[in-house]
Amino acid sequence: MRSHARVLGHAVHPMLIVFPLGLLATAVVFDLLYLLTDSRGFAVAAGYSIAAGIIGGLVAGVFGLVDWLAIPKGTRARRIGTLHGLGNVLVLVLFVASWLLRMNGGDWTPSTVALTLSFIGVAVASVTGWLGGELVERLGISVDDDAGLNASSSLSRSAAAPQTGRHAASGTG
């Protein structure tokens, strides 16, 4: 099922999700470095990474919602997409709460609760990332109907070379 939100032939949502996922995971790395070194710089870096990750997650979520709305109701893809989307909302809520707890008057030093929320958030994001992979790689969401090893460029208007056989897209048929 081809994505409904596209730029230059590619789905927007998968292009955008790398930013919030990377930023939020990096924030957790900074949190761990803060715990190991007690360096306030790592706490500040985590706070800014979380803020940017939240903004990126909200933007990516808009495009994910556009694609989710196009998935036919009553399908496994719609159910998985619902879990994926709601799980990512939970991730953002966890990181927003963690970020707010860090703001302690501009100090950015994370409390145990703030750290716990970010660690849980990245764990949930790992699950929702897997669900996103299931949507694309197993259920074909956001994959062009003419996708295959010899498909034409996404920038061209011509169709892909004809594919035949059970494993045509993988080149084994």
Q: Tell me: the pLDDT tens digits for 35-92?
A: 999 999 999 999 999 999 999 999 999 999 999 999 999 999 999 999 999 999 999 9
The pLDDT of residue 157 is 62
Name the nearest CA neighbour of 28 among 116, 127, 151.
116
pTM to 2 decimals?
Answer: 0.84
The pLDDT of residue 162 is 47
Strand partners, 11: 6
Report CA-CA distances (Å) from 58 to 33, 53, 161.
Answer: 27, 9, 38
Say yes or no to pLDDT of 170 above 70.
no
* Domains of the chain, residue spans: 6-141
Tens of pLDDT, residue by residue over 91-115, are: 999 999 999 999 876 789 999 999 9
* 82's tokens: 């619902």
Name the nearest CA neighbour of 26 among 108, 101, 95, 103.
95
* 139's tokens: 């259920």
